[in-house]
Amino acid sequence: MPGVPSYRGCDACRKQKKKCDMATPACSRCSRLKIACVGCGQLRYKFKDQTDLQVVRSSKKARSRASPQFETESDSPGSIVSIASSRDSARSGAFISLLDITDPSYDLRCYGPWFKDLPRRLGTNEALDAAVEAMVGFYPHLRRHEQSSLSRGSLVKYVNALQALRTCLNDPQKASKAETLCAVYILLICQGWTGKDNDQKVSHGEGLAFLLTAAESGQSSDQFHETIRDTLYVPVILEAIFNPRIRLGSWFLRFKDRAFGPPAPITHGAQKMMSLELKSLARIPDLIREPAKYIDDISNSYQRMRIEIPLLKASLHLADALASKSPTSGSIKTRIQYQVSFGLLVGCALIFNGYLRAFGADDGNMVEEADNMANDAIKLAHDASQYRPLGASFVPLCLIPAWTATDDIGIQQRVVEALMFYQDDFSPATSRGWYIMSYWLRGEMDRIRSGLGPSPVEDYSERQWGTIMLDEVGNMVCGDDVSDWFYSSD
């Protein structure tokens, strides 16, 4: 559970237990010692792990002190209901505590504004209840950068959430419920934080794609359900780009002209970014699965991105200036929205750039454009780093294509350095996935250059991912060795 210590001095004074005068730009002590003054005035959160059983016990003790008669009624039906109610209250209270955190680095609402509506839905779906408990259990580890040493209690909650989800998915009445979709999405987020997949044969992204397809076949008048689906389209589409086992159903063809990211560009006269419309994003997986068939569509999409990237980049510069001049919660939120949109647009453009060059369709400018966009991705990673981990969790999605598309060894090394910097925000398994996806994407482009075309679907399994061979723990097999990170450029 989070608490809020009152001390707001800088980190250096806090570590030495000294009183900080909180002067700006540096406190007196840091100025005197000529050391960096970091964290002055910052609100710090402190987390204490508390299990549901501890909550129930403490509540029971409180009731016993207030009225001794409860001791003789502990086995009554009313007592059982009370314990269940206490557990529900503890779950809701813990989750609400996390939603109260507005620091963009740890704000759960970055995953969807509807997160604030989840507490009122707790207690109606066992999969959602268990998924929320798993997220609450993992969150302190995310905050303390301890994903590699997760507590036994948090892992047990995650396993329980997977079991509860399976139960709901086996129930036709619950499988397509909005709460079940939420549960899958929350576990997808937890998997990204920790890399834990419990040896699943099917990823949560694949499961979401299946559920969204099933949900589209039915009619729902629930606005919450519609909002959930609109949010979940994006992570499914993004995972489908890197996971050929995900096949988007016919539902994406019915997308309206909805765009991902901010509602409108900041710059005057800027056009709507057609490349960020959901129907445009949803086409990308199919385009790169059959690039020879859709080479003209890839070329047309890339030409449009060439026009849109400078426009969105100008809007991002204005958002940066506004957030720097007046760092309000609104201006910071807008800046992050533009960073995410720009990162996504650049990442997609880099993929198309690499595929077009693999087909020999370079018009003479694409090598330079790939280098420039890769440098843009590196700069974006640097600028967004102040909002790590959650507010900058999108960054690897543009760094992976940057490493793949550029042929400049120096730029590649800087991309790897940026990925290494972001490694600490996620589990080793998650960062290993970045590495595998980078080499997989380059391998697919190499197959196209050699005239073989993309890897067939049957080449994707537990021990193989396209051109990449994996060992039993998921590391990449490189001749007689295995590797879980990028090769040195030496």
Q: Are residues 125 and 248 in the same domain?
A: yes
Are residues 108 and 10 part of one domain?
Answer: no
Q: How far apart are CA 59 and CA 212, in angstroms?
A: 40
One domain, residues 443 and 330: yes
In terms of Cβ atoms closer than 10 Å to its own Cβ (0-12, 13-18, 19+), residue 490 is exposed
Environment class of residue 473 by beta-carbon count within 10 Å: exposed (0-12), middle (13-18) or buried (19+)? exposed
| 475 DSSP 8-state letter | P
Residues 123 and 152 in one domain: yes
CA atoms of 200 and 96, how far apart (whole Å): 30
Cα-based angle 131, 432, 190 (whole degrees, multiple of 5)? 10
Question: Based on the domain organization, do 249 and 282 belong to the same domain?
Answer: no
Q: Tell me how long the chain is.
A: 490
What pLDDT score was predicted for residue 146?
57
pLDDT of residue 200: 45
> What span, in angstroms and rounded, lies between the C-alpha atoms of 261 and 270?
15
Q: Is 148 helix (H, G, I), strand (E, B) or coil?
A: helix
With respect to residue 267, please indicate whether it lies within any of the assigned structural domains.
no
Residue tagged 């397809």 (tokens): 213
- 220 part of a folded domain: yes
User: What does the alpha-carbon distance between residue 236 and residue 205 come to, in Å, rounded to a whole number?
Assistant: 6
- Looking at the structure, do residues 361 and 231 belong to the same domain, yes or no? no
The whole-number pLDDT of residue 314 equals: 95
- 437 in any annotated domain: yes
CA separation for the pair 106, 98 (Å, rounded): 9
Q: Are residues 305 and 445 in the same domain?
A: yes
73 in a structural domain: no
pLDDT of residue 71: 40
Q: Is residue 209 part of a domain?
A: yes
In a domain, 375, yes or no: yes
Residue type, 262: P
Contact criterion met (CB below 8 Å) for 34 and 131 = no
- Quick check: 41 and 8 in contact, CB under 8 A? yes
Regarding whether 283 and 238 lie in a shared domain, the answer is no
The C-alpha atoms of residue 97 and residue 93 are separated, in whole angstroms, by 6
Residue 173 included in any domain: yes
Whether 228 and 348 map to the same domain: the answer is: no
Domain extent, residue 288, equals 274-483
Instruction: Examine the domain organization and report whether 113 and 201 are in the same domain.
Output: yes
Q: What is the pLDDT of residue 149?
A: 63
**What is the three-class DSSP state of 252?**
helix
Number of domains in the chain: 3
pTM beyond 0.85: no
186 close to 157: Cβ distance less than 8 angstroms: no
Res 489: pLDDT: 46
Give pLDDT tens digits along the chain (490 positions).
Answer: 444 455 678 878 877 778 888 777 788 888 888 787 777 666 554 444 444 444 444 444 433 444 344 343 334 444 333 444 556 666 678 888 899 998 999 999 888 888 888 998 898 899 999 999 999 998 888 776 655 567 888 889 999 999 999 999 899 888 878 899 899 899 988 888 876 654 444 566 777 787 777 766 555 667 888 888 878 888 888 989 988 888 877 666 666 555 555 544 555 444 578 899 888 998 999 999 999 999 999 999 999 999 999 999 999 999 999 999 999 999 999 999 999 999 999 999 999 999 999 999 999 999 999 999 999 999 999 999 999 999 999 999 999 999 999 999 999 999 999 999 998 887 777 888 888 999 999 999 999 999 998 999 899 888 888 999 988 878 888 877 777 677 654 4
Whole-Å CA distances, 69 to 79, 83, 439: 12, 16, 67
**For position 76, what pLDDT does the model report?**
41
- Token reading at 274: 């057609």
Range 349-358 burial, b when 16+ CB lie within 10 A, else e? bbbbbbbbbb
Q: What is the C-alpha radius of gyration for the chain, rounded to an integer number of angstroms? A: 24
**Residue 282 belongs to some domain of the structure:** yes
CA-to-CA distance for 175 and 14, rounded, in angstroms?
Answer: 50
Q: Is there a single domain that holds both residue 305 and residue 232?
A: no
- Cβ atoms of 211 and 175 within 8 Å: the answer is yes
Residue in 68, 69, 19 with CA at minimum distance from that of residue 40: 19
The answer on 242 and 165 residing in a single domain is yes
